[in-house]
Structure 1
């Protein structure tokens, strides 16, 4: 068995924008990659790195996942998640904030955890692992403000209203850092993210216990647009997706009957009419068809 290289590369090459991916069939060791060492904006996929640093600090006794922290009303309510519905400053554990970050992509939980572990510490951990093209450099609030020409505003609930209005009016700055591959943005190389997932799978990301718990959290994510799109519901996927307009990404492990497959894919479209998520889903389908065609047959039957 081997990946259908020509068909997969054609999708990436003809994509109207930038696209890169890394795939590995863990059982056979077979891999295929396309532009996988380049940096791409991640949107919410960067939350994997926040989780990894959180678990590292828990393992080393710097903090505890059981520590409770109050969600103060100074945090921005932007973007995805449910914590923005809370009005009375709830106090929950760091573990539960992480669950919300990884399962429903809660941005308030993410920004609180980024502040807790420290953005410089996230990147220092990535450096120690050898991942120089994967950077988590800004909070999700700042990331979204930059998209709408509002980088000069502090991220808070009052300015969230202005940010939401600007976004609804289509005031998108496609030349902003948020759409770029600058290390000052949240970016990743598909190959490096694939390696992070391989470490998590074999238990060497932080520790075996931490790797196992991180994967369990990722198994509860339910995005169906990319890695999961053509899979039957019974197939387990540990994943984190990212989606911010033209920016799409999906990283995870697909537990196919033939064995686990690591998928790491990112795409940034040149226009709003281009479906970056569709391109990623097509690459994934080709990969599944080569190594485990029966799962696709069960969906189309």
Structure 2
């Protein structure tokens, strides 16, 4: 698929980003690799690993997803969405916290769940699933604290300075939560084949991924009413990521992981967001063009 790889690299370059991608036909196993084994910063993509750990514990009887949890107003993990942006105390179930964590990437909801599940359990889950290059070092609050510490007295305003960006531990896979594109598609494939959780819990996870509200990254590459995109984004200064599964009405299912880093530190870069959808579409089109696709449909 050298032609597709060339198109990917051209798209990334035109958007002003470097990109790493892995795409996988969930059923045939055919794949497309462009830096798939390079370590990448997961940012909020790691919430998917937490979600899987949560549901595996529920399946084992270690917790009840309807269990109610208190979230006081003070001490919340910062963020622009969900509980992180709310002002009053809240009481809700673990599964509703998971809904906020996945649909609007709520950092507070994620850390409340982490306090219940445990960071070690998240890492044990990824290890058990064979994701040998995936590891969480920090809670989401701790991760954001490293950004504040490394930014120094200039605070958020300093994050437009390339020298400040260059010293952020949160952007170094060796010093923060990390994975590879191939590990992430392996996880997605296991979820869609009910190999990561029981069928009941796998269906619940797939439902939440399908409810994510952000249409500007991976979903932008598939503007069709009959193509379903389920995914999880991740963002940090200069970083824009998404992993997800694209399902076609003919039964084709494709796991795609795209991780990018922009040359510009600007917070708003529509081209950098959109190229995730463009890259995913290039990869899926290449996979669908393979002979294995025709065999599955009974054509070849």
Does TM-score exceed 0.5, indicating one fold? yes
Give the corresponding residue for 1:189: 180
Query: Which structure's residues are more often helix, by fraction?
Result: 2
Residues 169, 86 of structure 1: alpha-carbon distance in 2 compared, 3 angstrom cutoff: same
Q: Hey, what does 2:92 align to over in structure 1?
A: 92
Tell me which residue corresponds to 2:248.
256
Q: Relative to 1, partners in 2 of residues 1:92 and 1:121: Cα closer, same or farther, differing over 3 Å? A: same
Distance 1:189 1:61 in 2: 30
2:156 counterpart residue number: 167
Structure 1 residues 3, 59: CA separation in 2 closer, same or farther (over 3 Å shift)?
Answer: farther
Tell me how far apart the structure 2 counterparts of residues 24 and 2 of structure 1 sit (CA, whole Å): 16
TM-score when normalising by structure 1: 0.83
Structure 2 length as normaliser, TM-score? 0.84
Find out whether 1:283 has 2:279 as its counterpart. Answer: yes
Q: Is there any run of 5+ residues in structure 1 with no aligned partner, and where?
A: 153-161, 294-301
Match for 2:189 among 172, 192, 198? 198
**Structure 1 214/3 Cα, relative in aligned 2: closer, same or farther at 3 Å?**
farther
| C-alpha separation in 2, matches of 1:102 and 1:284 | 20
CA shift for structure 1 position 52:
0.6
Structure-1 separation of matches of 2:192 and 2:281: 22
8 Å Cα contact 1:194-1:251 kept in structure 2:
yes
Counterpart of 1:40 in structure 2 is: 40
- The number of residues matched between the two structures is 281
What does residue range 14-163 of structure 1 map to in structure 2 within 5 Å? 18-149=18-149
Corresponding residue number in structure 2 for 1:218: 209
Contact 1:2/1:290 (8 A) holds in 2 = no
Structure-2 change in CA distance of 1:171 and 1:74 (3 Å):
farther
Deviations, residues 216-271 of structure 1 (Å, cap 9, x unaligned): 01100021222111322522211101122311110011112341111111112243
Offset of 1:55 from its aligned partner? 0.6
User: What residue in structure 2 maps to residue 230 of structure 1?
Assistant: 221
Pick closer, same or farther for the CA change 1:170–1:181 going to 2, 3 Å: closer
